[in-house]
Amino acid sequence: MNSSHELFCKAKQFIPGGVNSPVRSFNAVGGDPIFFSHGKGAYLFDVQGKSYIDYVGSWGALILGHAPEKIVLAVEEAAKRGLSFGAPTSAEIDLAEKISNLMPNLAKVRLMNSGTEATMTAIRLARGFTGRDKILKFNGCYHGHVDALLVKAGSGLASFGIPDSAGVPKVVAEQTLSVDFNNLEQVTQMFMHYGKEIAAVIVEPIAANMNCILPLSGFLDGLRELCDYYGSLLIFDEVISGFRVALGGAQEIYQVKPDLTTLGKIIGGGLPVGALGGRAEVMDCLAPLGNVYQAGTLSGNPVTVAAGLATLEIISQPEFYSELNFINEKLLSGLLELAKDANIGFQAHHIGGLFGFLFSNKAEVYNYQQVKSANHILFKEFFHRMLAEGIYFSPSAFESGFISCVHGGQEVDFTLAAAEKVFCKLKEQNLVPA
């Protein structure tokens, strides 16, 4: 049987960097990525048979854990009837209706194949609806690999985007303004200078692509007010937070109404999916009704739709999110207490089935610069030592962690026991700054 190292060497011969998505490469933490053979419940199993408690969950898609019986059955039954038709089905209506009914501000929904497709379309739709070109985003918020949104974090008033990836034309990036998350003053200044040119503000209401940073009080409300005043659209990127932090997403928790919402991950039950929803008058600008074009050969395919419908049915059950939050709270409060006992600077945030932690002595972390200034060397040590104990956290300090409904007290207790051992070793070996 090939080891992960052997498979990674082979993969690099045929796949750029040996992976099909960069964070999987372990570049952020060093070493070789783990190659997995299968998953069940809260556990992943590598190609050599070692088990790991999984807190990545396919980057948040698996809120029911690995291979849940009802989802597997739904997929099997759908696959028997056909994998894809490239034509309408009644099931995709059911999924769109279900999403619209559960999320508070989605009058109409268009199904797609990825979160990137959803944000790309949201930007195009906002520009088409408003007749404006500029987009305002936030430093550290990732919205998929869309040219207009792959810009380097800027600062100050003149923070026009600089391409953060080769291949992004400067003229495209220059249409993107970037300011600090949770800094309403910077947003206000941008609107004062470019308000009539800004088509939309796009934001992760919970910034889950720079660890797990929660919005400060009044921040999201302030964005809504500024967009209303200047006639810009407010886009919530809830690809991660949608159906993860609450049944109605972050917009349910914070009671702020976006014009458009992007979704993904959970609504596909573990299969590739994306969705865009929002105000009817805006959504109706999409072709074939309007002149904003979007299309997808596999959009609304019956297998993904079946998995998504079965997932949404389960997570709609009473107490689902209260139980998810209970387990999450037990895990994160336990980690905080253990770090405190070891005199290790440690920050953690959690909400619903989403969490993040980093090594920092700051009293509060609420923006990208503060996340970047955390102790990433210590994170790498912690990650690899926990991995050796059979705990699989996200292999980057900038990524969130995820709880599923099949994570229980047994998994949390095992994780905390491992963390206690690792924290003590870090302290004993003088790897923790005094």
CATH code where residue 231 lies: 3.40.640.10
pLDDT tens per residue, range 280-330? 999 999 999 999 999 999 999 999 999 999 999 999 999 999 999 999 999
Q: Is the pLDDT of residue 105 over 80?
A: yes
Residue at which a domain ends, from 315, 340, 357: 315
Q: Determine the average pLDDT of the residues in 256-266.
A: 98
Are the C-beta atoms of residues 328 and 355 closer than 8 Å to each other? yes
* SS3 call for 2: coil
Residue 63, SS3 per DSSP: coil
Considering the domain boundaries, does residue 433 fall inside one? no
Mean pLDDT on 107-130: 98
Same domain for 169 and 290: yes
> Do 287 and 383 reside in the same domain of the chain?
no
Residue 62's pLDDT is: 98
Give CA angle at 73 (69, 79), nearest 5°: 145
What is the rounded average pLDDT for all residues in the chain? 94
Does the active-site annotation cover 196?
Answer: no
Domain identity same for 167 and 19: no
> Tokens for 54?
């999984």
What pLDDT does 164 receive? Answer: 66
| 366 in the same domain as 226 | no
Q: Is 142 labeled as catalytic in the residue annotation?
A: yes
265 is catalytic: yes
Mean pLDDT of 261-281: 98
Alpha carbons 275 and 300: distance in angstroms, whole number: 9
* Residue 161 pLDDT: 44
Query: Tell me, what's the pLDDT at 158?
Result: 32
pLDDT at residue 364 greater than cutoff 90: no
pLDDT at 261 over 90: yes
The single-letter code of the amino acid at 244 is: R
Residue 169's pLDDT is 82
Q: Is the pLDDT reported for residue 1 higher than 70?
A: no
- Residue 428: both structure tokens together: 């004993």
How far does Cα 120 stand from its chain's mean position? 16
> Sheet of 51-54: strands edge to edge?
36-40, 43-46, 51-54, 391-392
- Whether residues 52 and 74 fall in one domain: no
For residues 127-138, average pLDDT: 97
Same domain as 225, residue 127: yes
Q: Which two tokens stand for residue 232?
A: 């810009």
What sections of 231-268 are H helices per DSSP?
Answer: 249-254
- CA 289 vs CA 128, 294, 434: distances in Å: 13, 11, 63
Same domain, 237 and 129: yes
Q: What is the pLDDT, as a whole number, of residue 173?
A: 84
At residue 148, the pLDDT reads: 82
By percentage, how much of the chain surpasses pLDDT 90?
89
Q: How many Å is the maximal CA-CA distance in the chain?
A: 65
Question: Is residue 89 assigned to a domain?
Answer: yes
pTM passes above 0.85: yes
Alpha-helical runs (H) found in 15-89:
57-60, 69-81
Of 43, 52, 55, 142, the catalytic one is 142
User: What b/e string do you get for 33-43 counting C-beta neighbours within 10 Å, with b at 16 or more?
Assistant: bbbbeebebbb
Residue 88 placed within a domain: yes
Mean pLDDT of 216-227: 98
Q: Is residue 434 part of a domain?
A: no
> Domain ends where: 315, 334, 359?
315
**Residue 216 per-residue DSSP state:** P
- List C-alpha distances in Å: 73 to 67, 266, 272: 10, 17, 17
Q: Which of 54, 180, 237, 259 is catalytic?
A: 237
Domain CATH code at residue 59: 3.90.1150.10
Confidence grade of residue 124 (pLDDT, cut at 50, 70, 90): very high
Q: Domain boundary residue among 277, 293, 315?
A: 315
- Specify the DSSP class assigned to residue 203: E
- Answer whether residue 226 is part of any domain: yes
Residue 296 located in a structural domain: yes
Q: Is residue 95 part of a domain?
A: yes
CB of 215 closer than 8 Å to CB of 182: yes
Q: Do 274 and 343 fall into the same domain?
A: no
Catalytic residue among 134, 137, 265, 380: 265
Q: Do residue 86 and residue 58 come from a single domain? A: no
pLDDT of amino acid 149? 84
pLDDT in tens, 142-197: 999 888 887 743 323 333 445 567 888 888 888 999 999 999 999 999 999 999 99
pLDDT at 167: 83
CA angle 97, 61, 45 (to 5 degrees): 145
Q: Are 202 and 339 in a shared domain?
A: no
Say how many domains are in the chain. Answer: 2
Q: Give ∠ CA 145-150-155 in degrees, rounded to 5.
A: 150
Say yes or no: 141 and 290 in one domain.
yes
Look up the domain containing 369 and give its range: 4-67+318-428
47 and 98, same domain (yes or no): no
Each residue of 39-55: pLDDT tens digit? 999 999 999 999 999 99
